[in-house]
Amino acid sequence: MYRLTSDFEHYYDIDIDIYAVEDAIDTQLGEDTFYNAALSNIELTSAWSDVGGTLNDTGLAKGARAPDISIWNGIYLILSAEAFGQLNPILADAGEFMPITLAGSTYQLFNCRRIVNVDENASETETINGEYLGLKSIRFESSAELTNTVCKTKFDNCSSLYCSENFKKKLENLKLYGLQFETLEQQ
């Protein structure tokens, strides 16, 4: 399994006003719903409003371009129209899609709602004075790796998305770019 991150060295960053999204969601579902949505694992489609956004060059590399697939706010996938067309059948049972206009083009924001368990004896978090700072290592239960393409876990407070080797290979075969795949599992 891999933790998904954006490839800012080769692709534009997704810039969506988080406060505008919060206002739209919270108006419909209640205060602070958006900030707790990943961990609470709630459906957002009914309250979604396309607030728009931009694609920004981070300045890390020359020749940056729009990603086919990327991460926004650490926990949401952003898919171009092409990526959505290719991945909708694979991801549909793992979450929900919501349209978002970026730089004049329609993308889809994917809210992953599939939560899987980790092997807590083989996984470790980093903390200071009891405060969660991040993961040192993670190992998913074997069934999670075999059956899930994209998922999240309460072990890291649903703060990241993870994918299987099969999903990574699928993106490579489809030539959909914009993600990096970080290995955190213990060997």
Host domain of residue 160: 2-182
pTM: 0.89
CA dihedral (41, 45, 47, 48) positive or negative: positive
Beta bridge partners of 54: 15
Let me know if residue 187 belongs to a domain: no
Sign of CA dihedral 164, 77, 36, 3: positive
The pLDDT confidence band at residue 145, using thresholds 50, 70 and 90, is low
Residue 170 is assigned to a structural domain of this protein: yes
For residue 89, tell me if it sits in a domain: yes
Pairing of strands 2-6, 162-163: antiparallel
User: Residue 164 falls within a domain, yes or no?
Assistant: yes
**pLDDT at 187 > cutoff 70:** no
126 is a domain residue: yes
Q: Total domain count for the chain? A: 1
